[in-house]
Amino acid sequence: MSRRLLPWIVLVVFALGYPLVVLGGGGPRFPSRGDCVRPATSDQNIEAVFGRFGTTAAAESMQRRAARSGFKNVQVESDGCGLFKVTLHGIPSLEVGREFIAEAQRVGFHPMLEQAP
């Protein structure tokens, strides 16, 4: 009889115990905007982010617009927080990045310099 009850006892213990363990740790934590947007503060791993979008279609539209304006190698990728970002990697320094931002603003874009993960 106890051999038949053992799986049920284990199931009940896990069914009740798992939520208590999760809630005891403060519950699941989802990334915030601050976790995904890291303003560039040093001359390492700098990227220009043209924007974040909820759909790949919207991000690809921005990517095409940027490419038509002469910005080469602009990519669409996940930002790790559920959005798609349009980004240009490989900016060597904050100084070059600021010049890039000024150039982009002259043609109607508003990218931000961010530290790539």
Weakest-pLDDT range from 28-32, 78-82, 101-105: 28-32
In angstroms, the CA 70 to CA 80 distance is 27
pLDDT score at 96 = 97
DSSP string, 12-70: HHHHHHHHHHHHHTTS--PPPHHHH--B--SSSSEEEEEEEESSHHHHHHHHHHHHHTT
Contact residues for 50 (Cβ-Cβ < 8 A; gap 6+): 62, 63, 66, 71, 74, 85, 86, 87, 88, 104, 109, 110, 111
CB atoms under 10 Å from CB of 52, counted, come to 20
pLDDT score at 24 = 64
pLDDT tens digits, 66-102:
999 999 999 999 998 889 999 999 999 999 999 999 9
Task: Say what the pTM is.
Answer: 0.72
Superfamily assignment of 33-115 in CATH? Sporulation related repeat (3.30.70.1070)
Mean pLDDT, residues 2-18 taken together: 73
Enumerate the domain spans of the chain.
Answer: 33-115
Task: Give the CB-side neighbour count of residue 27, counting CA atoms within 13 A.
Answer: 2
The length of the chain is 117
pLDDT score at 92 = 96
Backbone angles phi, psi at 10, to 5 degrees: -60, -45
Is 80 exceeded by the pLDDT of residue 26?
A: no
Is 70 exceeded by the pLDDT of residue 7?
A: yes
